[in-house]
Amino acid sequence: MSTILRAVPSKQRLQEARKLSFEIFDQFWNPTGKRNPAKILRASLKGPDLVKYYGNNDAVPTFKDFQKWFPELKLVDPREAHRTHMVEDRKRRNKGAPKKKKS
């Protein structure tokens, strides 16, 4: 029985081996298990990859761009017109946003 107990390393030796492993593989040593931002900070930035995948959003002109470029046409955005109509309809039925407090 005593030979089996000698073969098992102590907790301290196991912890030292684990710490050495973390140093070798360039990992963050956190024996207490506290939360920390190391995982987030180590991750690569997502912004440039997302821009490469989806492309530049400013490349496609919007309705507001056309209104700005051609003011003489007096274009009306149908989505905005529908939104304002719905807001007015809700206000008539007393379902709109409450009035702001006056100080």
Write the pLDDT tens digit of every residue in 19-72: 999 999 988 888 888 888 877 887 877 887 777 888 777 778 889 999 999 999
What does the alpha-carbon distance between residue 23 and residue 81 come to, in Å, rounded to a whole number?
62
pTM of the model: 0.41
- pLDDT computed for residue 5 by the predictor: 63
Residues 6+ apart with CB under 8 A from 96: 87, 90
